[in-house]
Amino acid sequence: MKFALASLLLLISALARAEYRVYQYLVKSRNSGLSVNNAPARPVLSTLNPVAYRAYHGGSSIDLTLMRTWMCVGYTGKGKEPCLPPGAKAASL
């Protein structure tokens, strides 16, 4: 019985796949010397959700706009870049 259960768990773990969500934000700085409208905006890809991104990267000193989000299959460790959004490969051909 224990062998059958161990074999089943091993089979399930071999078939399991990791996935993660990627967020694309438009980030603007809210410096006291600059108005938000004049600050340069930059697009950013992150695996942090909006609440975590804002808390980690500046709190109320940044203006954060969520542009889009998508799921990726795989592992994000060791500096691996997130996958491209759906349709990005077809557009680059």
In angstroms, the CA 70 to CA 80 distance is 16
Say which DSSP state 4 is in.
H
Per-domain boundaries in the chain: 15-74
- The model's pLDDT over 29-75, given as tens digits with 9 standing for 90+, comes to 887 555 545 668 899 999 999 999 999 998 888 899 999 999 998 87
Residue 33 phi, psi dihedral angles, 5° rounding: -80, -20
Long-range contacts from 43-50, C-beta under 8 angstroms, 24+ separation: 43/67, 45/82, 46/22, 47/20, 47/21, 47/22, 47/23, 47/76, 47/82, 48/23, 49/21, 49/23, 50/23, 50/25
Q: Which two tokens stand for residue 66?
A: 């969520």
Q: What is the pLDDT of residues 1-17, one digit of tens each?
A: 777 777 777 766 666 67
